[in-house]
Amino acid sequence: MHVRRIALLLLCGLLALTGLAGAAGTATSGEVFPFKVYKQTLDNGMHVVVIPYDSPGTLAYQVVMRTGSRDEVEPGHSGFAHFFEHMMFRGTERYSKDAYNDVIKRLGADANAFTTDDNTTFHMVAPASQLPLIMDIESDRFKNLKYDQDAFRTEALAVLGEYNKSVSNPVQPMYEKIRDLAYDKHTYKHTTLGFVQDIKAMPGYYDYSIQFFNRFYRPENATLIVVGDVKPENVFSLAKKYFGDWKTGYKAASIPMEPPQKERKTATIDWPNPTHPYVMTAYHTPAYSAASVDSAALDLIDQLLFSESAPLYQDLVVKNQWVDFIQGGDSGNRDPGLFMILARVKSDDLIPKVQETVARYIQQLQTTPVDPKRLDRIKSHQRYAFELSLDTPGNVAAQAAQAVAITGGVEAINQRFATYQKVTPADIQRVAREYFKPTNETVVTLAHKGDAPAAQGKGGAKNE
């Protein structure tokens, strides 16, 4: 199990999908996601998506729970979405933890899970012939998860251990700080791991954990995705057999809206061990929408600024060699998120120069139209790279699952790539001016010494 801790490091291959109503599937020639997609909704509200794929004898199986750290609205209880990623492997009366693991081993399957801001996804690659057994063991844990207080406390301490390991990497404390600063009301204020004080207190909240599970782990909040050597009608029949009696009861969390940021925010972190300094910058951006030109333009800006062929990257990494790396991109969340930029700088005195360079290239996007041919090349590259990624049933299922998690359906991939084609140089200018402005900026620096100059300097972007 793992957590996707740093959204900006996971921005490659943003959402994609095709979806159809009912149980019949179609695919249009030339679409970036070319597979037929079959959908059905069980009587209890659980969605089932089937994508036949040429992978003889193999399937990918994923269950997407549209609950992540976003849903942790009660003060003092952050981290429970990630906690249940762990607890779902603790077993039931029918299949104990060891019995479940024995089945997975006998199948030669690869089973795991991850948690994000917006969802928790359980995934497996296994023999297609064993789908009935897979449905049996997987449905059992979603319907009948059972654990006592001792198991709960043990896993809560394991979560704390995972947190302590994570914060040994300088980027994780920066990520926590920048989100804490950038958000005042929305639950994106805390990361998927949660606030450390809440994680430490977690062993005392056994009863709350039961309430959390009963509220969010319900069929209306779940989508089953099966990709590979399968027949849709067989998958639907098995889903009805094994998941059809899963009791309803999902209650959506009331997520507070985040007000617009009105002033630049900064912080510095003194790191106890020798390290090259880091600079992390964030700008508030709209919620992900496959049909939104602004959302698509932010993806393209990511490539315009931070791809290895981009002038900014060439300037900082190749020519001047002021940074070890620089990367960035939009988080693509269900609710308004952050476009984040992360750089590891060679020395403290170079931090202002790096910030000024980034600001200069952002200003160019704001004031000078992008070469249309360059923009077209980036669009073509994104499409080609995405198509190449669809090379295994697991990868196809992962793309489908991501779209389901963020948008609720598999329709978003082809829609998103169609939206890319609508983005013009004027849109790039407008979006850069709208979101990359000083009042919308949050900056966190980290260095071995406590006098990193970046957070005291001028804003990292101009808006003229």
pLDDT at site 14: 31
Q: Looking at the structure, tell me whether residues 228 and 145 fall in a common domain.
A: yes
pLDDT reported for residue 8: 37
Classify residue 182 by burial, with Cβ atoms within 10 Å: 0-12, 13-18, 19+: buried
Q: Is 264:236 a contact under the CB 8 Å cutoff?
A: no
Return the pLDDT at 24.
Answer: 36
pLDDT (0 to 100) of residue 147:
93
Residue 142 pLDDT: 97
**Dist CA 420 CA 338 (whole Å):** 20
Same domain, 438 and 344: yes
**Closest C-alpha to 48, from 289, 248, 234:** 234
Q: Is residue 254 part of a domain?
A: no
How many whole angstroms separate alpha carbon 420 and alpha carbon 291? 9
CATH number, domain at 298? 3.30.830.10
The answer to whether residue 430 sits within a structural domain is: yes
Comparing CA positions, the residue from 41, 71, 45, 68 lying closest to residue 219 is 45
109 lies in the same domain as 236: yes
- Are both 71 and 219 inside the same structural domain? yes
Q: What is the CA radius of gyration of the chain?
A: 23
Q: Are residues 132 and 269 in the same domain?
A: no
pLDDT at 43: 98
Quick check: 230 and 128 in contact, CB under 8 A? yes
Nearest CA-CA partner of 1 in 122, 169, 102, 107: 122
| Tokens linked to 351 | 């931090």
Specify whether 311 is located in the same domain as 213.
no
Task: Report the b/e string of 151-160 with b at 16+ CB within 10 A.
Answer: ebeebbeebb
| Token pair belonging to 412 | 């978003």
In a shared domain, residues 72 and 142: yes
Same domain, residue pair 271 and 233: no
If residue 62 lies in a helix (H) or strand (E), which one and from where to where? strand 58-65
DSSP per-residue codes, 169-201: STHHHHHHHHHHHH-SSSGGGS-TT--HHHHHH
Q: What is the pLDDT of residue 282?
A: 98
In a domain, 260, yes or no: no
Identify whether residues 106 and 225 lie together within a single domain: yes
Q: Which residue range(s) make up the domain with 119?
A: 2-243
Same domain as 305, residue 175? no
- CA torsion 229-224-85-1 (nearest 10°) is 20
pLDDT of residue 449: 76
Residues 226 and 326 in one domain: no
Any domain includes 270: yes
Q: What pLDDT does 222 receive? A: 98
Q: Is residue 255 part of a domain?
A: no
* 234 and 269 part of one domain: no
- As for how many domains the chain has, the answer is 2
Please give the average pLDDT of every successive group of 10 residues along the chain, which has 464 residues: 35 30 42 95 98 97 98 97 95 95 95 97 98 98 95 95 95 97 98 97 96 97 98 98 98 96 97 95 97 97 96 97 97 97 97 97 97 97 95 97 95 95 98 97 90 46 39
